[in-house]
Amino acid sequence: MPRRVETGEARGFAGLAVFVAVSVALLFAFAPNRRHGGPGVGLALSAPLPDKVPPGTTLVVGDPITQWVFERNGWDKQLPFTIKWAQITGGPEVTEAFHARALDVGLGANVPPIHAVWVGLPVKIIAFRERRDPLDHPSYVLGVAPKGGVDSLADLKGKRIAFSPSQIQSEIVLQTLRAAGLKTSEVRLVELPSSIGGDVYTTSLASNVVDVAPLGSGIISERYLRKFASDGAKTLSHPPFRDDALVAYTPVEVLQNPAKAAALKVFVRYWGMAQAWEQAHPDELAEGYYVRQQGLKLADARLILKAAGDIVIPQDWRGAVAYQQAAIDLMAPQMGHPRFDAATLFDHRFERLAGDAASTELGERSPPRTSPPADKAGRS
């Protein structure tokens, strides 16, 4: 039975973290490749996406697993534009690259594009992915420090909890506190950005700098327990809410460039095909990407895929919009940001592109699946 790739910020974590800083620096150096000043800038967001990609168009994309799938299948050579790959994923790195105008498409969980809007960086989601059974396959668990003194959610009061405002870890913490009936003032939130692979959080837990921190389910939490369970470390499941979204998003100014908008129209279709290919070829993904490229043991690669379960590319974004609206409504008052309409975070011209392409790649002919409303999946 085909399984699924790991989503969210744990994606492509192994060797990737080593190269993030270098990749960002190199992208900044070549930022003149970017968007300002070209004669084609000025496409309205309400205008249809152009069909023709002009010669010389380039997209810079940060999505390491999709890169491997493209290159494995030769799709990068079929594109009517040049694609440059950046070893960058996760909110802080993507936001930094967007600010430098050095990245066209970023990948992350649901919170980074929300936070980007809050810090004055207009972005749009152009592709959305979710887990088929998000409550049975959560993306995160709660890691507990060896001396954390936390055996259940009832023990969180007064504890030091890692918190990253620009990443999904912030939403997980706030959702957990709400479920536990606690206010943020009743715990100590320790602002601590999470690195790709979770090393900052696992190290902080192991050294008892914080008592609790969200950790990626699967290999990240498993490695934490392998190393530190004998010292008293443990993990707990968070309350039943969704944490599974993975989005591809882009700055608005990229979409206003007709050449890049046309290229994005093509890219998103291939991105949907790549997600379907991963689902249909889990063994090859495990051995080719995680083992041979990322250097993991095969058992660990399979653990990543098992933890993630199967994925869905919805062809209707009503559920995705509700998912994002729930996140905005939860985080805005707690973090001192304005509430906004989540529908404005999506570029609906792309709504069906990835899902239709994924269905075609899988050979499915069933009716389009609508993403489930957020409140039916444990969010409120």
pLDDT of residue 3: 32
Would you say residue 41 has pLDDT above 90?
no
* SS3 call for 265: helix
Mean predicted confidence (pLDDT) in 137-161: 97
pLDDT of residue 91: 86
Would you say residue 345 has pLDDT above 80?
yes
Q: Which of 131, 50, 60 is nearest to 371 (CA)?
A: 131
Mean predicted confidence (pLDDT) in 347-362: 94
Would you say residue 332 has pLDDT above 60?
yes
CA distances from 228 to 147, 203, 225 (A): 11, 10, 5
| CATH match for 8-134+244-377 among 3.40.50.300, 3.30.70.100, 3.40.50.720, 3.40.190.10 | 3.40.190.10
More confident residue, 360 or 231: 231
| Contact in structure between 46 and 230 (CB atoms under 8 Å) | no
Mean predicted confidence (pLDDT) in 256-269: 98
**Is residue 58 left, alpha or beta, with left meaning phi > 0 and alpha meaning psi from -120 to 50?**
beta
pLDDT of residue 73: 97
Largest CA distance in the chain: 62
pLDDT in tens, 188-212: 999 987 765 558 999 999 999 999 9
Mean predicted confidence (pLDDT) in 341-355: 98
**Is residue 120 left, alpha or beta, with left meaning phi > 0 and alpha meaning psi from -120 to 50?**
left
More confident residue, 375 or 115: 115
Q: Which of 128, 133, 134 is nearest to 355 (CA)?
A: 128
Would you say residue 269 has pLDDT above 80?
yes
Where do you find CATH 3.40.190.10 in the chain?
8-134+244-377, 140-236
pLDDT of residue 195: 63
Mean predicted confidence (pLDDT) in 6-10: 32
Report CA torsion sign: 34, 37, 39, 42: positive
Would you say residue 36 has pLDDT above 80?
no
Within 10 Å of residue 305's Cβ, how many Cβ atoms? 22
Enter the tokens of residue 121. Answer: 């960086």
pLDDT in tens, 214-257: 999 999 999 999 999 999 999 999 999 999 999 999 999 999 99
Within 10 Å of residue 278's Cβ, how many Cβ atoms? 24
Mean pLDDT lowest among 30-39, 100-109, 172-181: 30-39
Partnered with residue 130 across adjacent β-strands are 312
Which backbone phi and psi does 96 adopt, to 5 degrees? Answer: -60, -45
Of the pLDDT bands very low, low, confident and very high (cuts 50, 70, 90), residue 8 is very low
Mean predicted confidence (pLDDT) in 279-307: 96
pLDDT of residue 21: 41
**Is residue 276 left, alpha or beta, with left meaning phi > 0 and alpha meaning psi from -120 to 50?**
alpha
Mean predicted confidence (pLDDT) in 341-359: 97
Q: Which of 236, 199, 245 is nearest to 220 (CA)?
A: 199
Which backbone phi and psi does 270 adopt, to 5 degrees? Answer: -65, -35
Question: Can you identify the CATH homologous superfamily of domain 140-236?
Answer: Periplasmic binding protein-like II (3.40.190.10)
Q: Which of 60, 124, 121, 66 is nearest to 92 (CA)?
A: 121
More confident residue, 39 or 260: 260
Measured between alpha carbons, how far is 242 from 175 in angstroms, rounded to an integer? 10
Would you say residue 63 has pLDDT above 90?
yes
More confident residue, 262 or 14: 262
Q: Which of 19, 17, 23 is nearest to 199 (CA)?
A: 17
pLDDT in tens, 159-182: 999 999 999 999 999 999 999 999
Would you say residue 16 has pLDDT above 70?
no
Measured between alpha carbons, how far is 141 from 358 in angstroms, rounded to an integer? 29
pLDDT of residue 34: 47
